Every structure is written in structure tokens, then in C-alpha cells.
Amino acid sequence: MALLSTADQQALRDAFGAMTRPVTILFFTQAIGCETCAETRQILNELTEVTTQVTIQEVNLVLEGERAASYGIDRAPGLVLLAGDEKADTRIRMLGAPAGYDFMSLVDAILLVSGGSPQRLSAATEARLAGVTEPITVQVFVTPT
């Protein structure tokens, strides 16, 4: 059964219409011990049905461990967003199924890296970020509801 309603699909088509460059999602999976990999696969597949600008590339976490490690991914399901034809790393990752509220987070992130998001950081934040010179990883814990 489809997760997205017809109305959802239309809303997403409208939103994704603002994308100015393609987005590739690396989808790290594993066959055993990943309870939500199947659900994540379905969600991602339904996304690709409403836009041709999003491509899913499924990667086996175990078989391609080095590739996973290069993105800091050590569990599944893990998503990595890459922007443009050059597949530039956006440094945006998600661990766990992008369901419920987090589905909107994923849509928001796709729009952001595709140039289709109207939201901007403030000039003050941009200035503060320009002063960051050491690597920082920021984990944000969320729940789907």
C-alpha cells in the first residue's frame, strides 16, 4: 500500500518543482538486523515517483563498509544527501527511517540542497559559520511523531 496519498503526492510535486539541481540519496542498508530498511526503501521509492530530480543509490553497509565509513555511516538505514550532477557531499545524514515528521525533514533537506528552499540562514549565522574552522559533528535526536 502506498504511504503517500494522492494529495501528498501532488503537494510534493509542487514543492519539488522548485528544485534547481538534482539530488542523490545514498541509502545505506543491511540485510540482517535492519528493522526499518524495508520501510525506508518504500518511502524513498515513493519520493522518486513524484520527482525525476531525486535519485536513490542503495549501498550495502557491510559489503561497502569503507564507503560507509567515508561518510561516517556505521548503521542502517543511513541516508547521505549529495547535491548536483557532481554529487557533492552536503554533510547531511539521517539515521533511521524518515517516517512521520521526519519525512518532512527529509523533504526539507532535499529542497535545501537542491536550491529549492526559500528559507535562508540569517546574515549573523552565516557570519558565525564562516568563523568555524574545526570539524564539528552535530547529532540531532528526533522521534517520528
Partner 1 sequence: MGLANRMAFASEHITSVTVQASEFYDLSRKYRVSGVPKTVGSNGVEILGALPEAQFVEELLGAAADEVPGSA
The residue type of 128 is: R
53 Cβ contact list (under 8 Å, min separation 6): 16, 19, 21, 22, 23, 114
Residue 114 binds partner 1 (CB under 8 A): no
Minimal distance, residue 18 CB to partner 1, in Å: 16
Residue 122 binds partner 1 (CB under 8 A): yes
Kindly identify the residues of this chain, within the stretch 11-70, that bind partner 1 according to CB under 8 A: 35-36
Q: How many residues bind partner 1 (CB under 8 A)?
A: 43
Kindly identify the residues of this chain, within the stretch 124-143, that bind partner 1 according to CB under 8 A: 124-143
What's the CA angle centered on 24, arms 115 and 51, to 5 degrees? Answer: 70
Cβ-based nearer residue to partner 1, 51 or 90 = 90
CA distance 33 to 24: 25
Nearest to 110 by CA among 140, 139, 74, 80: 80
Query: Which positions touch partner 1 (CB under 8 A)?
Result: 35-36, 72, 75, 90-97, 102, 104-105, 108-109, 112-113, 119, 121-122, 124-144
